[in-house]
Structure 1
Amino acid sequence: MPTLDVHGTALHYRDEGHGPPVLLFHAFPLHSGAFDAQVKALASRYRFLLPDVRGLGQGAPPSGPTEMAHIAQDALALLDALGLDSVVVGGVSMGGYASMALLREDPSRVRGLVLVDTQAGADDEAGRARREASAEQALREGPEAVVRAMLPRLVAAGPDSEVGREVAALMRAATPEGLAAAQRGMALRPDSKDILARYAGPALVVVGEQDGITPVEKARQMAELVTGAHLEIIPGAAHLPNQEQPEAFNAVLERFLSRL
């Protein structure tokens, strides 16, 4: 996995495939390996840029909360280093928050937007409190606490399924500090409805039919904010459709990319 020095911090990322560039941000608490099925199916036609968020996967240790703007700024530094003026930007869950943060930072870099099982709103007070409790538990108990709490809600097939075991392995690559920093960073994110309402480019919104974390209604609300956005609901998937139903997800993603 190559690295890029960003203000003294090593940004670990994957650069896979050939063709129009697509920057994808992974979900919490996973890492860039979550997009293996997309790389395998589509890398002959698209170039995937897949950073690991700090403290997750091979991401460098975080320094303070991993705010969504920081993830976006790391990615913009990567685009600068690779000489890429604009790319398709997308992400799953927390990766969707990071995508909207990048859109806020520099909309000129976003050729197309892909938002997967995420939401535009900020956390309310109760949500921020839950994130802080999760952060403190991760620091005390490590990734296993997060696996126990989150995995049953992430995959429709359940923790003991093949995809459930794959997701658990991705989660266990996180450090306790990275888990806590990401939770605290997500708690600080602003509402992004204004950013989506101003966005004038092509957009794809995807949601798992069985997602109980960011359900279909929240996906509809995002799609309604972006003029001309296309909404796709993936059957048989909960919060991670790109991993749970990769063939269906890849078909949806490729249709969108091929029209740009």
Structure 2
Amino acid sequence: MLTVTVDGIPLHYRDVGQGLPVLLLHAFPLNGSAFDAQVKALSGRYRFILPDHRGFGQSALGQGPTEMDRIARDALALLDALKIGSAVVGGVSMGGYASMALLREDAGRVRGLVLVDTQATPDDEAGRARREASAKEVLEKGVEPFVQQLLPKLVATSPDSPVGREVAAMMRSTTPQAMAAAQRGMALRPDSKDILARYAGPALIVVGERDVITPPEKARQMADLISGARLEIIPDAGHLSNQEQPERFNEVLDRFLASVAG
């Protein structure tokens, strides 16, 4: 098992393929295996770096909220350990928040930016309160009630579909402590519109047509902030478009990565 230790916390990652380095940051409350379909289709042309965030997958959980800049610094430490100077940086949902935090931390490391089913705006007061309530509930009642509540919002198809069962299994593999820490970390994230407006590199914005958590208008807002950004709307996909419609998503991602690789 590949691990990198950051501030005493062992973090698991995968390093698969060859070519242009592509760092992908997974959604809440999943893990790096959420990108298996991308690895299977595209690792012959690109090198995928796939960390499990703190507390998710096979990575240990640190202390306090799992803030987005913490995930970003973990990812930068991983790139350092692999001696990768710059990479295409992308993320889904929470991974998108962390990607924008990484851009704020060190824009020079970002060769291209991929933001999937995410948003640049922070939680408002009501949103932060909902996250805190959710964190307390999962700590008190365990993961299963949270899975039943969130899963229908993550996938546009039935929760009992193959992708629904795949997502549910990843959710159930996560501890209540990790879920609560990430919820509290997401609640603390800043507004990222300013950093996107300053970003001058290539960017791909992707959103599922049926995403009810961060709907297409959120994606359009991000695309409008970045000069020359590509916006792609994936039909018949919800909040996890890379897993729900992988063939269409992979076509879009492959086209973008090929343009960055030159």
Report the counterpart of residue 238 of structure 1 in structure 2. 238
Contact 1:206–1:232 (8 Å) recurs in 2 = yes
Contact 1:62–1:177 (8 Å) recurs in 2 = no
The Cα offsets for residues 202-221 of structure 1, whole Å up to 9 and x where unpaired, read as 00000000001000000000
Contact 2:116–2:205 (8 Å) recurs in 1 = yes
Contact 2:93–2:118 (8 Å) recurs in 1 = yes
Report the counterpart of residue 76 of structure 2 in structure 1. 76
Report the counterpart of residue 147 of structure 1 in structure 2. 147
Q: Secondary structure at the match of 2:210?
A: coil
Q: Secondary structure at the match of 2:157?
A: coil
The within-5 A match list for 1:1-260 is 1-260=1-260
CA distance in 2, matches of 1:241, 1:28: 14
Contact 1:12–1:51 (8 Å) recurs in 2 = yes
Q: Secondary structure at the match of 1:259?
A: helix
Q: Tell me the CA shift for residue 142 of structure 1.
A: 2.0
Q: Secondary structure at the match of 2:15?
A: strand
TM-score (normalizing by structure 2) = 0.98
Letter in 2 for 1:19: G
Letter in 1 for 2:93: S
CA distance in 2, matches of 1:254, 1:142: 39
CA distance in 1, matches of 2:215, 2:253: 19
Gaps of at least 5 residues in structure 1 are: none
CA distance in 2, matches of 1:14, 1:145: 30
CA distance in 1, matches of 2:158, 2:242: 16
The Cα offsets for residues 36-86 of structure 1, whole Å up to 9 and x where unpaired, read as 000000011111001111111112123100000000000000011111110
Contact 1:88–1:114 (8 Å) recurs in 2 = yes
Query: Which of 225-234 and 8-17 deviates more?
Result: 8-17
Gaps of at least 5 residues in structure 2 are: none
The Cα offsets for residues 128-183 of structure 1, whole Å up to 9 and x where unpaired, read as 00000110111112221221111001001121111100000011111111000000
TM-score (normalizing by structure 1) = 0.99
Q: Tell me the CA shift for residue 8 of structure 1.
A: 1.0
Q: Secondary structure at the match of 1:61?
A: coil
CA distance in 1, matches of 2:212, 2:229: 22
The Cα offsets for residues 100-152 of structure 1, whole Å up to 9 and x where unpaired, read as 00000000000000000000000000000000011011111222122111100
Letter in 2 for 1:238: G
Contact 1:22–1:47 (8 Å) recurs in 2 = yes
Q: Secondary structure at the match of 1:122?
A: coil
Contact 1:26–1:95 (8 Å) recurs in 2 = yes
Please give the root-mean-square deviation of Cα atoms over the aligned residues, in Å. 0.6
The Cα offsets for residues 3-48 of structure 1, whole Å up to 9 and x where unpaired, read as 0111211011111111110000000000001000000000111110
Identity over aligned pairs, percent: 73
CA distance in 2, matches of 1:197, 1:255: 23
The Cα offsets for residues 203-242 of structure 1, whole Å up to 9 and x where unpaired, read as 0000000001000000000000000000000001000010
Contact 1:210–1:237 (8 Å) recurs in 2 = yes
CA distance in 1, matches of 2:25, 2:99: 7
